[in-house]
Amino acid sequence: MTTIEPETSGASATAAAAPGAAPADAPRTTPAERPSDGEHLLSTRDVSVLYGDNRALKPTTLDFDAGTVTALIGPSGCGKSTFLRCINMMNREIPHCRVEGHIWYGGVDVNAPDTDLYEVRRRIGMVFQQPNPFNKSIYDNIAFAPRRHGVKGRKQLDQLVEESLRGAALWDEVKDDLHKSGRALSGGQQQRLCIARTLALHPDVILMDEPCSALDPIATLAIEQTVRDIVATGICVIIVTHNMEQAARVSDRTAFFYLGEMVETGPTAHLMKMPKDQRLSDYLTGRFS
């Protein structure tokens, strides 16, 4: 395994389980299954992915903490999205896709066959590359998932909608036409609506797969600011980007992927200034994109 972890390599998946070490902000868990590295909100251990017989992602070990942004960078087709989609098990929706390894979150292995997929996705939200608000009003876009998860009261929903829109810095722009279609918004607003939609479920983690790739520079900056705001509330954001400046602006830590392999990870500033791996320094100097 080529994983290089200058900062967070202290914990090992093979270490004995230490029940009861769950951090305060971790959701209700079954502590018996909890691995040793209780200090991380989310840890992947040797996660690898096969599409049919094609191994798109080699075993990847990474840790993610509450209140931080981790950027996943690398040329396109190197497995960033594939890795991201493991974390909330979106890969389970692809019939020929197989995920191996462990994803420890809240004391359970997300990748275990008996994990409650829906509960995992409720707590690990996802924002996609193309803004994909539903063909519904702004209000219903946000109230959609809470309703499905049993939130009924009108007052409660109203409050949730406002709070989520505020969280995504969209409230002031749309508060007067909450019943307009979500698809009538601009691209950047749609993407922030999608962020608000995940915030409504009070997630611990939000996965973002190149959320700005379809947006103009101003909308991009707005999203980045939103990301920082969200993280300040203690949420963990994992963001895929092919834009180095974006990674530098928005992330605390960075992981570099290349040809299906997680090559190097570390604090963003450190990683960008002093890359250890030749492939990363080539990438940073733009020798390939």
Ligand X SMILES: Nc1ncnc2c1ncn2[C@@H]1O[C@H](COP(=O)(O)OP(=O)(O)O)[C@@H](O)[C@H]1O
Q: Which of Mg ion, another protein, ligand X, none does 145 bind, CB closer than 5 to 8 A by kind?
A: another protein
Q: Which stretch binds another protein (CB under 8 A): 133-141, 252-260, 264-272, 275-283?
A: 133-141
Residues of 36-59 as b/e, b for ≥16 C-beta within 10 angstroms?
bbbebbbbbbebbbeeeeeebbbb
Closest CA to 114 of 40, 33, 203, 23: 33
Number of residues that make up the chain: 289
Alpha-helical (H) ranges within the chain are 80-87, 117-123, 138-148, 154-167, 171-174, 187-199, 217-232, 244-250, 268-273, 278-284
Q: Which of ligand X, another protein, Mg ion, none does 78 bind, CB closer than 5 to 8 A by kind?
A: ligand X
The C-alpha atoms of residue 136 and residue 114 are separated, in whole angstroms, by: 33
Other CB atoms closer than 10 Å to residue 95's CB: what's the count?
6
Give min distance, CB of 229 to another protein, in A. Answer: 20
Q: Which stretch binds Mg ion (CB under 5 A): 7-15, 77-85, 180-188, 248-256?
A: 77-85
Taking CB under 6 A as the rule, does residue 70 contact ligand X?
no
Cβ proximity to another protein, 85 vs 249, nearer residue: 85
E strand or H helix that includes residue 121: helix 117-123
Taking CB under 6 A as the rule, does residue 56 contact ligand X?
yes
User: How many of the chain's residues bind Mg ion (CB under 5 A)?
Assistant: 1
Taking CB under 5 A as the rule, does residue 81 contact Mg ion?
yes
Binding residues (CB under 8 A) for another protein: these are 88, 90, 93, 117-123, 125-126, 128, 130, 132-136, 144-145, 148-149, 181, 183, 194, 197-198, 201
Give me the residues that bind ligand X (CB under 6 A), please.
51, 56, 74, 76-82, 94
